């Protein structure tokens, strides 16, 4: 089943086209990765789905519903959870309070206790630090908190923006392993954007390569990892 469909997407900032003619499909249960260099438009792509930047062209449909004119909070209520770049936890609130804020939609509130137990099972350190101010956590722990807060929404679609940003290599591996466990535990559909091309493509079912606001390649994981252009540009081969 096609969960998310983007056709001919265009986004403009100050007269400059940040995204141009982007068409991407995400099927229910898919793990789709969009990779590319810094400034390629990856973050803008996710913001266009969650509704925090307007479209200049094209259309987005989610579960068959056109998202044009649907505000961002209503998209979240439809089950689209956006874990933004840079984590953006509430530093003065406790870990538990941050997580509880993620369960604000009606369907999620009813399952708050179950969701909390699931998040704490996935990230035991968050249970240990549940009374601690989020701003005192390490970068890796804050990223776990941001992921956990996204799960608290009980999402159908999870948008992940550069979860490896600013983390040491060992922590990056831990975060990516956590994302795989999250997917398996919740049977999630995930759209991930990343600069770490190798790790991100190894996680996904299908991927897209974005450069300067345009899609230049797409395909199954093995196809992209074996593509000469990808290997030359991103894998150093």
Residues 86, 165 contacting (CB under 8 angstroms): yes
Average pLDDT over residues 182-205: 89
Count CB atoms within 10 A of the CB of residue 175. 19
Asked whether residue 124 carries a pLDDT value surpassing 70, the answer given is yes
**Nearest residue to 162 (alpha-carbon basis) of 182, 183, 146, 180:** 146
pLDDT of residue 26: 96
Residues 12, 22 contacting (CB under 8 angstroms): no
CA–CA distance, 35 with 32 (Å, rounded to integer): 10
Mean per-residue pLDDT over the chain, rounded: 91
Asked whether residue 237 carries a pLDDT value surpassing 80, the answer given is no
For tokens 């466990």, what's the residue? Answer: 181
pLDDT of residue 37: 86
pLDDT of residue 235: 65
pLDDT of residue 64: 93
Phi, psi of 219 (to 5 degrees): 165, 180
Give the side-chain half-sphere CA count within 13 A for 1: 9
CATH of domain 2-234: 3.40.50.300
Asked whether residue 175 carries a pLDDT value surpassing 60, the answer given is yes
pLDDT digits (tens, 9 = 90+) for 18-77: 999 999 999 999 999 999 888 899 999 999 999 999 999 999 999 999 999 899 999 999
For tokens 């209520």, what's the residue? Answer: 77
User: pTM for the complete prediction?
Assistant: 0.93
Average pLDDT over residues 3-18: 92
**Nearest residue to 119 (alpha-carbon basis) of 77, 181, 73:** 181
pLDDT of residue 167: 84
Residue 152 token pair: 């608290």
pLDDT of residue 85: 84
């Amino acid at each position: 089943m096609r969960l998310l469909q983007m056709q001919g997407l265009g986004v403009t900032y100050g007269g400059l086209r940040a995204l141009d003619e982007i068409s991407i499909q995400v099927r229910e249960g898919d793990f789709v990765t969009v990779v590319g260099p810094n400034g390629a438009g990856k973050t803008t792509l996710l913001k266009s789905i969650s509704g925090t930047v307007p479209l200049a062209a094209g259309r987005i449909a989610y579960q068959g519903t056109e998202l044009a004119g649907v505000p961002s909070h209503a998209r979240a209520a439809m089950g689209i959870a956006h874990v933004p770049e840079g984590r953006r936890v509430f530093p003065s609130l406790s870990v538990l309070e941050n997580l509880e804020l993620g369960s604000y939609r009606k369907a999620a509130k009813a399952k708050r206790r179950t969701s909390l137990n699931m998040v704490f099972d996935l990230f035991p350190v968050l249970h240990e630090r549940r009374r601690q101010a989020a701003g005192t956590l390490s970068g890796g722990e804050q990223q776990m908190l941001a992921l956990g807060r996204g799960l608290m929404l009980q999402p159908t679609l999870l948008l992940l923006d550069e979860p490896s940003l600013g983390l040491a290599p060992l922590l990056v591996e831990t975060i990516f392993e956590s994302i795989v466990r999250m997917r398996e535990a919740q049977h999630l559909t995930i759209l991930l954007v990343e600069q770490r091309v190798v790790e991100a493509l190894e996680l996904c079912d299908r991927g897209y390569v974005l450069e300067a606001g345009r899609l230049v390649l797409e395909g199954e994981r093995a196809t992209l990892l074996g593509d000469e252009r990808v290997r030359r540009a991103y894998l150093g081969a």
